[in-house]
Structure 1
Amino acid sequence: MPNKTIEINGGNVVYEILGAKNTADEYIVLTPGGRFSKDIPGLKPLARALVKGGYRVLLWDRPNCGKSDVQFYGQSESHMRAETLAKLITELGIGPCIIAGGSGGARDSMITTMLYPELVTKLVVWNIVGGVYGSFVLGGHYITPSILAARGMGIKGLLHVAEWKQRIEENPANRDRILALDLDDFLKVMLRWLNAFVSKPGQTIPGVPDEMFDEIKVPTLIIRGGENDWDHPKRTSLEVSCLIKGSTLIDPPWPEDAWERAGERFAASGGTKFCLFDTWVQAAPAILDFVKS
């Protein structure tokens, strides 16, 4: 199925569905991390493996990712994406469904399940971001450059930020959407989003009070973080498994140092060969065993 577009909360969201209509009645929504597109290397192999397992898979470009429109609202960027995903599932009539995601996509998936439990049958997450280092890095990478650019040059300064230059390249309409932003309102949102990444007692994952995990009542599979993965700490996945009652925690199907070695290969390529999600397809058997159980 080719890319399709749907308007949600005043912005266009690009998505595609893998798997024939007669494959299954149940859908898996698969969400990558960062501000990466659904077309990022490593995601489609996992999606195709899940389709072979008998499911239809929804891939989507979240707001501020890929070819979708940029949008700026909500308690955090992940809260905004959770609201978008809930409306996407509802508008497409594919819920309730299985929600799965890694890294930032794990956070988006967990928040969606917390806020819209009626739309989720099962939850699968891996590479969960947490800890002082992981949270600090995300705030510095995704939020701070936009604040500095906007404060220094006004809204036009955002056109020079690498993240937004990429969004404009993939979706030229984003240039006008960015230039139409009110500077003061934008900075208020950015400070709120940045605050989500400030490590706080009682927030195992960025911007989410621990008591919100009580809202996750569906069967949940957690693939724990690697032994020395600073971005997705083993400790964080263990804590999340304690917070989600009845959840299943398993060891990663990839090597303990998979994230670090992929990061080294990515750096050695000068940032030209993305390979951070290449191992994700190895999770397909465990995911299928869990969702079919």
Structure 2
Amino acid sequence: MSSVEVNGGRVVYEILGTTGDLIVLTPGGRFGKDVSGLRPLAEALVAGGYRVLLWDRPNCGASDVQFFGPTESHMRAETLRELLRALAIGPCVLAGGSGGARDSMLTAMLYPELVTGLVLWNIVGGIYGTFNLGAFYVLPSLQTVRGRGIAGLPRMREWRERIAENPANEQRLLALDKDEFVKLSLRWLNAYVSKPGQTIPGVDDEMFDRIRVPSLIIRGGANDLDHPKRTSLEVHCLIEGSTLIEPPWPEDYWERAFEEYSSGKLDHFPMFDTWVRAAPAILEFLDRR
């Protein structure tokens, strides 16, 4: 496991493949590079002639926890920029689903010199999708700190998992200032409040004008409340010259997977298990850029 220090925190990464253009592949949520379903897609892209960088973003996997920036995605974009600089890796393709799509889009907007192509799927949007993100990723920690202070964070399941993968994270959490953490959490939470002119959380639509690279968008499912079809269509309209394709997995995959997991039929939520099916379309798109 390799790592470098970026903005005062350790970032864990791995590069698959030895030749070809580099693809930075990013999963969603606060999941790390070893989440189920991500590596098969990475390996398929390597088999297609590319190198793939997998990384644990701040607050994911075995990397250090960090809290700064206008939104968590802004923090991740800045971290990715510094990670690529530290590795002396030139412009690359950014590919990601769900939160990884948002992180990839924002990186392309803020640091266009780093990006040669963009591949996006499972783009989060809409009232339900954005409120759900704020309720899941921001409110629990904010409420814990307000009620129990910073000392309550390491007792939470999410942060216990980060400590289990990286014991240094316990002290990093305990060293946080309560008032500053509350202020940051409110800022991050505000980004998830749906606003006119913001198709993706915390990012003004005019920022899409900065994306000038070949971009592939896999349409969202028709009834997927977390990654709406409408949001993928809007992003397609906002990224000039982008290519939109039908999903290579069942139209209702996300809903059926959620139902099966919630009913106890599955031991994990297979949210990324079908991503490998996108490999042929991604390779075809990248090969003809």
TM range (shorter): over 0.9
1:47-82 Cα shifts (integer Å, max 9, x gaps): 000000000000000000000000000000000000
The aligned counterpart of 1:255 is 250
Flag the 1:269–1:17 CA change in 2: closer, same or farther, 3 A.
farther
1:134-187 Cα shifts (integer Å, max 9, x gaps): 000000000000110000010011122221111111111000000000001111
Structure 1 contact 266–276 (Cα < 8 Å) conserved: no
- Aligned CA RMSD, in angstroms, stands at 1.0
How far apart, CA to CA, are the structure 1 residues paired with 2:265 and 2:146? 30
- Name the amino acid aligned to 2:143: L
**Count of matched residue pairs:** 288
- Name the amino acid aligned to 1:72: F
The aligned counterpart of 1:133 is 128
The aligned counterpart of 2:74 is 79
SS at match of 1:138: helix
The aligned counterpart of 2:206 is 211
Structure 1 contact 100–109 (Cα < 8 Å) conserved: yes
SS at match of 2:10: strand
The aligned counterpart of 2:161 is 166
Deviation at 1:271, TM superposition (A): 7.2
Out of 256-265 and 194-203, give the one that drifted further: 256-265
2:259 to 245, 249, 264: 264
- Name the amino acid aligned to 2:248: P
- Name the amino acid aligned to 2:140: P
1:70 aligns with 2:68: no
Aligned pairs (5 A) from 1:53-202: 53-202=48-197
- Name the amino acid aligned to 1:106: A
How far apart, CA to CA, are the structure 2 residues paired with 1:265 and 1:278? 14
How far apart, CA to CA, are the structure 1 residues paired with 2:136 and 2:265? 18
How far apart, CA to CA, are the structure 2 residues paired with 1:60 and 1:251? 27
Q: Which runs of 5+ in 1 are unaligned?
A: none
The aligned counterpart of 1:7 is 5
1:281 aligns with 2:276: yes
The aligned counterpart of 1:224 is 219
1:246 aligns with 2:241: yes
1:233 to 219, 228, 236: 228
SS at match of 1:149: helix
1:32 to 27, 39, 53: 27
- Name the amino acid aligned to 1:92: L
Structure 1 contact 224–238 (Cα < 8 Å) conserved: yes
Deviation at 1:262, TM superposition (A): 1.6
Out of 66-75 and 87-96, give the one that drifted further: 87-96
The aligned counterpart of 2:286 is 291
What's the TM-score once normalised by structure 1's chain length? Answer: 0.97
How far apart, CA to CA, are the structure 2 residues paired with 1:208 and 1:144? 20
What's the TM-score once normalised by structure 2's chain length? Answer: 0.98
Q: Which runs of 5+ in 2 are unaligned?
A: none
Structure 1 contact 70–178 (Cα < 8 Å) conserved: yes
SS at match of 2:198: coil
SS at match of 2:14: strand
Q: Percent identity?
A: 69
How far apart, CA to CA, are the structure 2 residues paired with 1:169 and 1:270? 27
How far apart, CA to CA, are the structure 2 residues paired with 1:180 and 1:43? 32
SS at match of 1:232: coil
